[in-house]
């Protein structure tokens, strides 16, 4: 396991090294948005830190545009989430149970894993839904 973790860390460093400011600052593979109110959310404040890591992973891997999967959906396995987030499968299981009960996700088993639907993906991943305080007060 330590060898796998070291390889993942080296691969990540290579990705960052590949980012060259001379290329106009292009960052590949898209982005996600996080509302500042996330800092006051139950999963960030009161749940195990690993759970927020899992939540961040799911949001980051969810489909951004409709196609084979709907926007906000992703195909996952407990094993893959466990490996990618460096958490136990038990932590994944309990976290997903919490997120379902909290209305954060819906899940559907399929042949190759589980489709996880982030329920408010469009609300939080749409820049038009974000306003500065002054704009919101007008």
Q: What does 59-121 look like in DSSP terms, one character per residue?
A: HHHS-SS-SSS-TTEEEE-HHHHHHHHT--HHHHHHHHHHHHHTTSEEEEEETTEEEEEETTH
- State which residues form the domain around 68: 35-137
Task: Determine, yes or no, domain membership for 71.
Answer: yes
Pick from 16-25, 36-45, 77-86: least confident: 16-25
Residue 77 neighbours by CB under 8 Å, 6+ apart: 112, 113, 114
Domain containing residue 105: CATH number: 1.10.10.10
What's the pLDDT score for residue 64? 86
Task: Give pLDDT tens digits for 103-127.
Answer: 999 999 999 999 999 999 999 998 8
Q: What pLDDT digit, counting tens, does each position of 56-109 carry?
A: 999 999 998 878 899 999 999 999 999 999 999 999 999 999 999 999 999 999
Is residue 20 one of the residues assigned to a domain? no
Q: What does the pLDDT read at residue 66?
A: 79
- The mean per-residue pLDDT over the stretch 24-39 comes to 83
92 in any annotated domain: yes
Per the structure, the count of domains in the chain is 1
Question: What's the pLDDT score for residue 3?
Answer: 67
Question: Would you say residue 14 lies in a domain?
Answer: no
């Amino acid at each position: 396991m330590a060898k796998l973790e070291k390889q993942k860390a080296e691969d990540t460093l290579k990705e960052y090294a590949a980012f060259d400011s001379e290329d106009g600052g292009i960052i590949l593979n898209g982005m996600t948005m996080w509302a500042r109110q996330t800092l006051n959310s139950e999963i960030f404040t009161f749940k195990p830190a690993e759970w927020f890591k899992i939540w961040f992973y799911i949001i980051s891997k969810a489909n951004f545009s409709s196609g084979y999967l709907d926007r906000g959906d992703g195909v996952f396995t407990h094993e893959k989430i466990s490996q990618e987030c460096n958490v136990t499968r038990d932590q994944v299981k309990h976290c997903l149970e919490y997120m379902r009960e909290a209305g954060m996700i819906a899940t559907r088993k399929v042949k190759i894993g589980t489709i996880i639907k982030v329920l408010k993906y469009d609300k939080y991943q749409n820049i038009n839904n974000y306003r500065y305080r002054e704009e919101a007060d007008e």
